[in-house]
């Protein structure tokens, strides 16, 4: 029943997996030379598709000619071309791109590996990637890691066996460039998205302007009169969190405002933990508590708003909150969330273009930073009196 064994955790080992039996009928050995005349009423395996050979034989030309027609070569005589095309249509020929890719040593696919499609940010990103890839005639090979570096190794190993022309990878948290190099060899055309990795300079990178985004949010809060502004959530060892924290720090410094270390609060980027840590904002430090928080992302901001409500504090009234990402929920929460929009679908299109550009000999992998825009809603409140 199971056509292949699942990929082992030790993904780097040789593929033992037996490919699927895609043909519904088990192949019986061809009895052509077995003496008796073959059963002629099924001269061809019904499962077999139409091939260039069938077309060529049907109208008495060579396979080469059919191939040239398929590839739109101007070498073929118009009449011949017309006859071939008619026969192609008649027999409902389907091009076997896998065979062509093998012969030409090309690829018409790009692997896209992300944490989880259920994250709307990545869903939009994936939609953008697939859109742009499709426009160029490539197909998307999907893979998801669920933020597990081990699964990521396994998924990438499996995808590489399909010889993608490129890999767009949003690394799982805790990814290690050394490990990744074991499965994505020197020849691989890789574009990293969203998370920067040390030791991966041979690959392209597309990221958001995290620092500037957080700076915009912080400046926005300062302009509303806030002076004590926390940075809430995220893991300080992730590059995006570091960059966003830097933006926060920069805006505060620029405004001549001190940052109490107690205002830098870590939290896993999920709603539950973000809500649970709300109390840390109002801990027993000697100083006055913050009146606003720049959150690591929207999910954290949503959690914090729940946590605030649980303590009887109205987000946007008693305490200002900003997010990052502009996920769909951000517009419909109570209150709607002020956040940074990253246009993930556009980023997806861009990632596809970048990875395709890298295929060209000249284009060296580049570091690209995409802008984000502040989207003001009610969670950041109005001007403090």
Partner DNA sequence: CTGAAAGCGCTTACAG
Window 32 to 91, contacts with DNA (CB under 7 A): 48-49, 51-53, 60-68, 70-71, 74-77, 79-81
Backbone dihedral region of 371: left (phi > 0), alpha (psi from -120 to 50 degrees) or beta? beta
Given its own copies, DNA, none, residue 236, with its beta carbon under 5 to 8 Å by kind, binds none
- Interface with DNA, residue 96, by CB under 7 A: yes
Map residues 1-30 to x or -, x wherever contact with its own copies holds by CB under 8 A. Answer: xxxxxxx----xxxxxxxxxxxxxxxx---
What does the alpha-carbon distance between residue 356 and residue 336 come to, in Å, rounded to a whole number? 38
Within 10 A of 214 (CB to CB), how many other CB atoms are there? 29
Given DNA, its own copies, none, residue 340, with its beta carbon under 5 to 8 Å by kind, binds none
**Nearer Cβ to DNA, position 67 or 368?**
67
DSSP class of 267: B
- Interface with DNA, residue 99, by CB under 7 A: yes
Are β-strands 373-375 and 339-341 bridged in parallel, bridged antiparallel, or unpaired?
antiparallel
Candidate list 130, 298, 325, 326; residue touching its own copies; CB under 8 A? 130
- Burial (CB count within 10 angstroms: exposed 0-12, middle 13-18, buried 19+), residue 210: buried
Token duo for residue 25: 């009928």
What does the alpha-carbon distance between residue 276 and residue 117 come to, in Å, rounded to a whole number? 25
Candidate list 2, 27, 40, 361; residue touching DNA; CB under 7 A? 27
What does the alpha-carbon distance between residue 337 and residue 218 come to, in Å, rounded to a whole number? 14
Given its own copies, DNA, none, residue 137, with its beta carbon under 5 to 8 Å by kind, binds its own copies
* Smallest gap from residue 50 Cβ to DNA (A): 7
- The candidate with the shortest Cα–Cα distance to 7, out of 222, 220, 199, 152, is 152
Candidate list 9, 31, 71, 287; residue touching its own copies; CB under 8 A? 71
Given its own copies, DNA, none, residue 242, with its beta carbon under 5 to 8 Å by kind, binds none
Residues binding DNA (CB under 7 A): 19, 27, 29, 48-49, 51-53, 60-68, 70-71, 74-77, 79-81, 93-96, 99-100, 102-105
């Amino acid at each position: 029943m199971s056509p292949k064994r699942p990929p082992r955790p030790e993904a780097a080992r040789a593929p033992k997996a037996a490919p699927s039996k895609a043909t519904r009928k088990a192949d019986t050995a061809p009895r052509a030379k077995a003496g008796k005349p073959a059963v002629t009423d099924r001269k061809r395996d019904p499962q077999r598709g139409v091939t260039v050979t069938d077309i060529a034989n049907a109208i008495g030309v060579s396979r080469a000619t059919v191939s040239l027609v398929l590839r739109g070569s101007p070498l073929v005589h118009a009449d011949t071309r017309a006859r071939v095309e008619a026969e192609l249509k008649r027999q409902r020929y389907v091009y076997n791109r896998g065979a062509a890719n093998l012969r030409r040593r090309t690829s018409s696919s790009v692997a896209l590996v992300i944490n989880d499609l259920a994250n709307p940010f990545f869903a939009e990103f994936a939609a953008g990637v697939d859109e742009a890839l499709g426009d160029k005639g490539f197909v998307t090979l999907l893979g998801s890691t669920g933020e597990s570096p081990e699964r990521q190794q396994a998924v990438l190993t499996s995808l590489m066996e399909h010889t993608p022309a490129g890999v767009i990878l949003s690394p799982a948290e805790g990814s290690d460039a050394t490990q990744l190099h074991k499965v994505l060899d020197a020849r691989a055309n890789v574009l990293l998205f969203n998370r920067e990795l040390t030791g991966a300079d041979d690959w392209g990178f597309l990221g958001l302007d995290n620092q500037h985004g957080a700076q915009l949010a912080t400046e926005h809060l300062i302009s509303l009169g806030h002076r004590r502004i926390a940075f809430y959530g995220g893991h300080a060892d992730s590059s995006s969190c570091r960059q966003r924290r830097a933006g926060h720090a920069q805006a505060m410094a620029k405004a001549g405002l001190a940052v109490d270390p107690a205002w830098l609060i870590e939290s896993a980027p999920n709603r539950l933990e973000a809500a649970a840590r709300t109390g840390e904002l109002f801990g027993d430090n000697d100083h006055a508590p913050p009146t606003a928080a720049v959150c690591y992302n929207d999910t954290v901001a949503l959690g914090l708003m729940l946590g605030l409500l649980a303590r009887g504090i109205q987000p946007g009234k008693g305490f200002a909150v900003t997010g990052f990402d502009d996920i769909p929920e951000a517009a419909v929460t109570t209150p709607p969330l002020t956040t940074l929009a990253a246009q993930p679908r556009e980023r997806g299109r861009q990632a596809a273009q970048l990875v395709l550009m890298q295929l060209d000999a000249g284009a060296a992998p580049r570091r690209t930073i995409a802008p984000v825009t502040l989207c003001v809603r009610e969670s950041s409140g109005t001007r403090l009196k």
